[in-house]
Structure 1
């Protein structure tokens, strides 16, 4: 799994996000697609039913992270059929592999490039199935924000050049598409770029598709992110979360034909349903780290849809958030950042307090305060700590954002004060390094070697203290934020990089024209695998982990009538 709080990853992610946002907004690859990449109005599967008259398709989103989680899902998608028991264990459903597989966004982490796609997406999926038998399954893909981090170049090369990927054919030439399915069903896949909107040529493409639809046709609309959840959590007015083009497509072009909304981006399963039977399903469990289901909270959407099911359930999600209190276990190298920062704060406000114990706290505070007054840049460093963390606080904290972010920074400053004081006290009073200073207070009476030793041991102890304590304070802040304020859900669970609680959707269009959705869950992915020795049409590895769980239905099959 990607270690999001690794120091180099923190820097790389920040730079990727800035570059993609700045250049992506000014060099929209989709406008070039519309000119140089012609695409047929839609891909026709209306007559592609099986011998029993059914048509099956699969949907998975947010893949290409850790090997275990990505391959576990890829293997299930590659098997000829899956036996899926319901939660009660009494009823089971046998479901064949889909004729079409849809990747619903964020096909690779942490950012797109030819190498990361190959390592994190293609290799796990080809290990699950390198070749297939006729009729060969097809693959359609929409990009998410992580696919856009290189301007969509690697995405277009891999998925929009009619290549074979993991035994499946890719047919699209643009980053969006339309599929005509049996029994007057359609599947629409949009490209919303970087949390933005669909472009005008894309609107025109889908307007032309809508002209091919009958008044009673039904649509499955796939977006890269669940705007309905994010808008409900933001409590913003209608039309202000996403730009008007996407809402125009949903409300004016497709309208009430939309029976099901699908999206990933949030790495869990949540289903909302309104009184008319319209479903909004978030299913981003293809391999990326798990997101909480209790934050952002969206029990009721702005259109009145209510939450019907989540996986994991909110109680389990809250319990998992407590792992942030042991953040150093899940992101051990994050301590390098806090250790170095605590050391910098300590050096900036250094004072000779090594001979003063806890009973001399007022004297120590006075000495450090005098040191800060004599070094104005120390105050600036403290303000940067508090102001920076206040600025990085999640907007979901609302009116508490500045206060809680500032308190987070203040907690680190206070911790750095006590750790640095303790480090100096241990060095001087316990180890006996440089216990006596010269008259000017600038040198050790025992010589320069003691002075160097004092500097070395004090810095080392301060760094180690910051390495251990800093992640705990950050983890405590994240736990409080996500469990009590519904904020920092991405940071709180990205830091844990939990590979479990995966999901994907298997869908069937029956002879009667009804759509049945089977939400497949995998509570614990295998950590160990054994080679199968099978050919290229079968998975190369099977689970060899007694603690791994079998796939099951997250909830009973969801039936959507025409």
Structure 2
């Protein structure tokens, strides 16, 4: 347990430091080369999900059922917390972890307090700039343990999908932390793979996917989700979590580069969950908040405000997306985002 002591040196990543850029570039190149020839997702699919029972015993979260479903469907309501793009410096990560750890939050515009989620979902890029045991420890595990070192039963659980930064060590550190059914501060990890399916109350499901460094969805993952789909009823609604907002990238870059598309999302929606409704697409990767919706209430949400540096919401026009999705809300608001760019004139003095 870390207590409330902050590590001596864990600042945010100096992205414009030439040495940092060089180190990151080398690791990205290596992981990209090896990722093309070795897919860790296939290896992890061979590991029995209950192999850690003897190690962690009763402290481990309960395993899924025979089809790999984690069942939270009892009751009529359930609270989920979602955090994406975190682990970029101790202070910012702790700020997010502090609020996620509170038993209740009073939020402006809501009459009743919001309880801490029974499940915390990490939406990708849990650390920066590249993954390692130490990088996971200092700017991620330590702040969350400091915010919430232990909880009473029933303990909240945590699930995570990897982003590109988590993949830069071939998912070794991610798997050690999130796929070994152990403690993460006051939360318990439960998953055994880098993708998962949660059965929620009132015929809702949360599906977490892993698309390795812009690869296609691997065969074991396809088979897993096909098993899940067979357990669903027609018309069940799905929250689909993915590490990148493909709908935004397809809008901005799709005309010039066919690699930027929504093919993986379309495959899941039309080929696997074809008898259900993907009602919410949820992603991070862009470090701001954007919500697009259709007149029918379908949602595409980018929520990458987990503590990493801020991305602007102005610039390329993403007001309207394919299939009738329109921008409903953005944070920072577009006008505020434009004002913040004036601070770039002080870049040499502020980026230290």
Aligned to 1:201: 220
Distance 1:95 1:321, change over 3 A: same
Q: How does 1:11-410 map to 2 (within 5 A)?
A: 11-38=22-49, 40-47=67-74, 49=75, 53-86=76-109, 91-236=110-255, 240-242=259-261, 244-255=263-274, 257-332=277-352
Give the Å deviation of 1:331: 2.8
Any unmatched runs of 5+ in structure 1? 333-562
The CA RMSD over aligned residues, in Å, is 1.8
Distance 2:29 2:271 in 1: 33
Count matched residues.
324
Change (3 A) 1:176 1:135: same
2:254–2:261: 8 Å Cα contact kept in structure 1? no
Distance 2:273 2:156 in 1: 27
TM-score by length of 1: 0.56
Q: What are structure 2's unaligned runs of at least 5 residues? A: 1-11, 50-63
Deviation sequence 1:411-449 (CA, Å, 0-9, x none) = xxxxxxxxxxxxxxxxxxxxxxxxxxxxxxxxxxxxxxx
**Cα offsets for 1:457-516 (capped at 9, x unmatched):** xxxxxxxxxxxxxxxxxxxxxxxxxxxxxxxxxxxxxxxxxxxxxxxxxxxxxxxxxxxx
Deviation of 1:253 (Å): 1.4
**1:61-103 alpha-carbon deviations (Å, 9 max, x no partner):** 11111222111110101000000003xxxx5441000101101
2:338 partner SS: helix
Distance apart, 1:237 and its partner CA: 8.6
User: 1:422-441 to 2 correspondence within 5 Å?
Assistant: none
1:251 and 1:262 map into 2 onto residues whose CA distance is 18
Partner secondary structure for residue 36 of structure 1: coil
Which of 16, 34, 39 is matched with 1:5 structurally? 16
1:197-244 Cα offsets, whole Å, 9 max, x none, are: 321211111111011110121100000010001101114399752474
Partners in 1 of 2:122 and 2:246 — Cα distance?
A: 18
Q: Residues 238 and 306 from structure 1, CA distance in 2 versus in 1: closer, same or farther, beyond 3 angstroms?
A: farther
- Computing the radius of gyration from Cα coordinates, the structure with the larger value is 1
Higher helix share: 1
CA distance in 2, matches of 1:206, 1:194: 20
Give 4+ residue runs of structure 1 displaced > 3 Å after superposition.
37-40, 237-240, 242-246
